Amino acid sequence: MLNLRQKFGKFGEDLAARFLKKQGYEIICKNFHCCFGEIDIIAKDKDTVVFVEVKSRRTSTFGHPKFAVTKAKQEKISKVALHYLKINDQSNSRARFDVVTVNEVAATKTDIEIIKNAFELAYK
């Protein structure tokens, strides 16, 4: 059973996927899990594999959601992305990391933003 925060996170991911489709992305998979962690959405944007982190917020108490993608989170996403590319024989593919933010600005209104190339491969 999901709590309210988890439900809003799932809502944000679903909203982000629909928004990406409208922008011309092809959704490959959602919530890809492996031993290194999880990536919210993996998509194709023309000839580029895009690893998308979705950050959703219902209030601005903790700041804009894009600031929640810390260096440690970038490193984790990078490891998962490299693993995904390797197991799918796509190691030579073009790839990038995008962040989609979902802000609830009113009970019936959300603001969605795509930050393309939000960060570079971050790997220790």
- The mean of the pLDDT values for the chain is 89
Distance, CA of 66 to CA of 9 (rounded, Å) = 14
Tokens of 82: 């490299």
Of 3.40.1350.10, 3.90.850.10, 3.40.50.10800, 3.40.50.460, the CATH number of 4-119 is 3.40.1350.10
Q: What tens digit of pLDDT does each residue of 6-61 get?
A: 787 788 899 999 999 999 999 999 999 999 999 999 999 999 999 999 998 776 66
Identity of the amino acid at 80: V
Please say whether the beta carbons of 17 and 53 come within 8 A.
Answer: no
Domain ranges of the chain: 4-119
Q: What is the pTM of this model?
A: 0.90
